[in-house]
Amino acid sequence: MSGNMSGKLYGVGLGPGDPNLMTVAAVRAIESADVVAYHSARHGRSIARSIAGAHIREDHIEERLMYPLTVETTDHPGGYRGALDDFYEEAAARLAKHLDAGRTVAVLAEGDPLFYGSYQHMHKRLAHRYDTEVIPGVTSVSAAAARLGKPLCEAEEVLTIIPGTLPEDELTARLAATDSAVVMKLGRTFPTVRRALERAGRLEDARYVERAFMAGERTEPLASVDADSVPYFSVAVLPSRIDEVAPEERPRGEVVVVGTGPAGAPWLTPESRGALTGADDLVGYTTYLDRVPVRPGQRRHGSDNKVESERAEFALDLARRGRRVAVVSGGDPGVFAMATAVLEVASQPPYTDVPVRVLPGVTAANAAAAKAGAPLGHDYATISLSDRLKPWDVIAGRLRAAAAADLVLALYNPGSRSRTHQVAAARELLLEHRSPTTPVVVARDVGGPEESVRVVTLGELDPAEVDMRTLLLIGSSQTRMVTRGAGASDEADGTVGAGSTIAWTPRRYPETP
């Protein structure tokens, strides 16, 4: 190759450690290269070189890219990250000299070059300047699954790859939300990862794989691993949940009451998403069940919205037979929803020993308030206008008391086909205590395909426009409404912005004279 032509850069994936798992393309790239480069720790040894050693010739030029540090302690003015950035710049410059001289450079990378690997730092600095080819390799993720002999994910399951260096709360949330997972970079992070798995309720399912396809390989249940024995080259694996331990083989199941928020997946918390994913059975009002994706092997038990006690008893019976049951509730399950029904039945024999958990969800009042601005910015009361389970006189008394106390009101269940007078009656009652100019948020199907959020005044409120899918937020004497700017409404993307009328209640209340 002539000196005025640049050489070619190869990022060569070597696989997880066994030279037999190198691809034919990787071997050819190494054998055809003029320069073989590899990263190493300060002791000088390189796992990457040991994997590819049989294909490195005596006439190869070897470039050992030695890390200046191995722990996050340094006197570099830019700290640990600054020291590494300087190292990567210097290493890239060394390789660039070879490329400029027309030499072909093969940078060895354990696993896959672009998967948590050191090569990627060379790639970002050189690939835009030189002819570059990346040769993929078998990752430690695939190697771990192969050694465990367990599927990582199946059908519509989601696999999440997580660095163990994340904060414990973040690890917990991500582990709770996913179907399957592999946690990388253990070593010193192992105690944190173990706690996160336990907090997420996944420790029993977790498996530990150390040095897959390398000398000293080890696999075992993660719960039994001694933290002091864990090296960096190890991973935690949560395999596919499909075809795991049969419910009838468990000593007992549990019931988890899950709040899906007002519209399903976009509003789910990670913990709720994980509970729905890990359930053997889903029980709930059919409309709410339809918001949850169908999963292989998972049973769904839909019913009418008026049989809450029966639904709760059915769920608890399933749990007594060892099944993990998610009772699906819209919004927050503790706000006019299924948590009360389940706990009421669970407090009676023969269900007192069945474990029951309640997971919160975004309630309709909070969702509607966020869409409209911040009308719940100060004290507020939440009242259901449904008189199916309590007399209207009780509702009216509570409306009067809350109105007299100048509280913002969140009114749930305002109307239905069989209940048509409540909104008009409530409006007239509130006008005894509030000005007709009081801001009112009329929020319908928040988060759904027919979402409509408007801010009107109490005097303008039309009861005929309110149905069971609507929630009303009635302002206090301090609640304000204003149209921001004169541009087009941003309602389509959920922005509270130009051209939209917003409402908010100041946090500071005027002092009484």
Q: What is the CATH number of the domain that holds 151?
A: 3.30.950.10
Question: Do residues 346 and 301 share a domain?
Answer: yes
Question: Do residues 332 and 410 share a domain?
Answer: no
Query: What's residue 498's pLDDT?
Result: 42
- Locate the DSSP E strands across 90-233: 105-109, 132-135, 159-163, 180-184, 207-210, 218-221
Regions of the chain short of the pLDDT cut 70: 1-4, 69-75, 78, 243-251, 418, 486-499, 512-513
Look at residue 418 and tell me if it is in a domain: yes
Amino acid identity of 8?
K
The DSSP-derived string for 127-163 is TTTS-EEEE----HHHHHHHHHT--S--TT--EEEEE
Look at residue 512 and tell me if it is in a domain: no
Look at residue 4 and tell me if it is in a domain: no
Start-to-end CA span in the chain (Å): 91
Look at residue 410 and tell me if it is in a domain: yes
- The per-residue b/e assignment along 473-509, b for 16 or more CB within 10 angstroms, e otherwise, is bbbbebbebeeeeeeeeebeeeebeeebbbbbbeeee
Of the residues 170, 203, 238, the one at which a domain ends: 238
As for how many domains the chain has, the answer is 4
Look at residue 17 and tell me if it is in a domain: yes
Query: What's residue 513's pLDDT?
Result: 56
Question: Do residues 500 and 386 share a domain?
Answer: yes
Question: Do residues 417 and 450 share a domain?
Answer: yes
Question: Do residues 337 and 215 share a domain?
Answer: no
Look at residue 355 and tell me if it is in a domain: yes
Look at residue 300 and tell me if it is in a domain: yes
Q: What is the pTM of this model?
A: 0.77
- Could you identify the residue written with the tokens 């253990």? 186
Question: Do residues 229 and 265 share a domain?
Answer: no
Question: Do residues 436 and 371 share a domain?
Answer: yes
Question: Do residues 96 and 155 share a domain?
Answer: no
Residue (of 96, 107, 100) closest to 29 by Cα position: 107
Domain of residue 402, residue span: 365-504
Query: What's residue 246's pLDDT?
Result: 63
- CATH number, position 120: 3.40.1010.10
Of the residues 336, 359, 382, the one at which a domain ends: 359
Question: Do residues 181 and 268 share a domain?
Answer: no
Question: Do residues 425 and 490 share a domain?
Answer: yes
Angstrom CA distances, 271 to 171, 183, 200, 278, 358, stand at 12, 18, 7, 11, 11
Strand partners, 302: 284
Query: What's residue 52's pLDDT?
Result: 97
Query: What's residue 82's pLDDT?
Result: 82
Question: Do residues 469 and 395 share a domain?
Answer: yes
Question: Do residues 493 and 412 share a domain?
Answer: yes
Of the residues 188, 216, 238, the one at which a domain ends: 238
Look at residue 234 and tell me if it is in a domain: yes
Task: State pLDDT tens for residues 83-127.
Answer: 889 999 999 999 999 999 999 999 999 999 999 989 999 999 999
